[in-house]
Amino acid sequence: MPAYSLDLKREIEALYFEVLDKKFVKTSCSNCYKDAVMEMYVYLNKYNKMKEKTLYALKNGALLQLGFGNGNMITNANLTDTLAEKYLRMNPNGHIYFSKLPENWKNRVFGKKSKKKEQ
Amino acid sequence: MGVCDYSIKRDIAPSCDDPIVPGVEQVGVIFNRSDIDFSTVTFSETHKNVIETLALKAGAKGYKVVVYGNSPFNGTNTALATGTYRNTFTNTVNMVILDNNPDVCSDVIDGLANGEFVVILENKSKSLNATEKGYSAFQVYGYYQGLNAAEIANDKYSEETEGGWSVSLTETKVPKSALFLYKTNYETTKAAVDSLTAEAV
């Protein structure tokens, strides 16, 4: 396998973040840069776009479901701002499962409702 | 103060739909017990030995433990420990680390020697024909007291570890015979377990 130059490695790391919205982590695996390129390729091939940048992120181990009996699972892999806010609207105490929330998340989630109450 | 209900509540007979199968799968998950975000932990209301949600603190992640072979994590067991006023259980989780280099020693072995851990193993016996499909698949060790190192050895001429490390972790004074992780169904629980080892955001 060809050795990657330092410049190429940095470029792959930057692209990885752009495409998958997560940090590239070097492991002791000998093919981790090749794996990263493959992972980006598979994602782009499947979704035809880069992963949406999100304001929200879940803690590891947390898995959300939108309502009882709803089979759709939400993990960091498919979390979007819309889904996160929909979940928080239904489960206001569910913020404990998030590792990343925008500072104004309450306004974003309950904004309209709060304004109506104030009026 | 309540009085604990220690009575048995069902027939003692093997399941015909889900016959017991020995052993565990080759891939498990380990994480530092101090990384558990206990505010997120919820137990099942219907199954007292089932945890439904177990998330880690923001920025924390778990790590995979892969042990190949026909009997991975061989020697892993739970045993009764009799006490003066109450009996408890002792959990033992064994693993081999087929590696020995400076990074493995500093990042894994030295940590294992002094830390407190939780391990989740996937049983081969998963109860997939039960009403709650797969509710016995993922078993949690170390939740109550943490697993501590009981034995760690590196034998250069070992036939089994071939110069790698053998590790035995134990958890004593465990109030419950077993703890399982289960949410909704097997797939959902598997996704939750997998998310433990994802890069923390």
Ordered by start, the domain boundaries in chain B are 35-196
Q: What pLDDT is recorded for position B167?
A: 98
Q: What is the pLDDT of residue B43?
A: 97
Over 80: is that where the pLDDT of A91 sits? yes
User: Which of the four pLDDT bands, split at 50, 70 and 90, describes residue A6?
Assistant: confident
Interval A38-63 mean pLDDT: 91
Q: Are B132 and B184 in contact (CB under 8 A)?
A: no
Residue A6 vs residue B36, higher pLDDT: B36
pLDDT level of residue B60 (50, 70, 90 thresholds): very high
Secondary structure of chain A: what % helix, strand, coil (to 5)? 50, 10, 40
pLDDT digits (tens, 9 = 90+) for B88-142: 999 999 999 999 999 999 999 999 999 999 999 999 999 999 999 999 999 999 9
Measured between beta carbons, the chain A residues lying within 8 angstroms of B186 are none
Query: What mean pLDDT is reported for chain B?
Result: 95
Name the residue among A25, A73, A96 with its Cβ closest to that of B39. A96
**A61 & A107 share domain:** yes
Q: Is residue A96 predicted with pLDDT exceeding 70?
A: yes
pLDDT for the residue numbered B19: 93
Residue A116 phi, psi dihedral angles, 5° rounding: -60, -40
Please check whether residues A70 and A101 belong to one and the same domain.
Answer: yes
Quickly state the pLDDT bin for A29 (edges 50, 70, 90).
low
* Domain count within chain A: 2
Of residues B113, B91, B100, the one with CA closest to residue B167: B113
Same domain, A39 and A68: no
| Overall average pLDDT of the B168-193 stretch | 96
Quickly count: other Cβ atoms within 10 Å of residue A69's Cβ. 6
Check whether A119 has a pLDDT greater than 50: no
Distance from CA of A96 to the nearest CA of B (A): 7
Tell me if A52 is assigned to some domain. no
Query: CA A55, CA A43: separation in Å to the nearest integer?
Result: 20
Token pair recorded at residue B7: 């009575």
Among chain A residues, CA nearest to B183: A63
Q: Where are the beta strands (DSSP E) in chain B?
A: 27-32, 42-43, 50-53, 63-66, 77-81, 88-97, 117-122, 138-141, 148-154, 165-174, 179-181
A97 touching B (Cβ < 8 Å): yes
Confidence check: pLDDT of A68 > 80 = no
For residue A42, what are the domain limits? 6-47
- State which amino acid sits at residue A44: L
Identify any residues that bridge with B118 across adjacent strands, giving them in sequence order.
B31
pLDDT for the residue A59 = 96
Reported residue count of chain B is 201
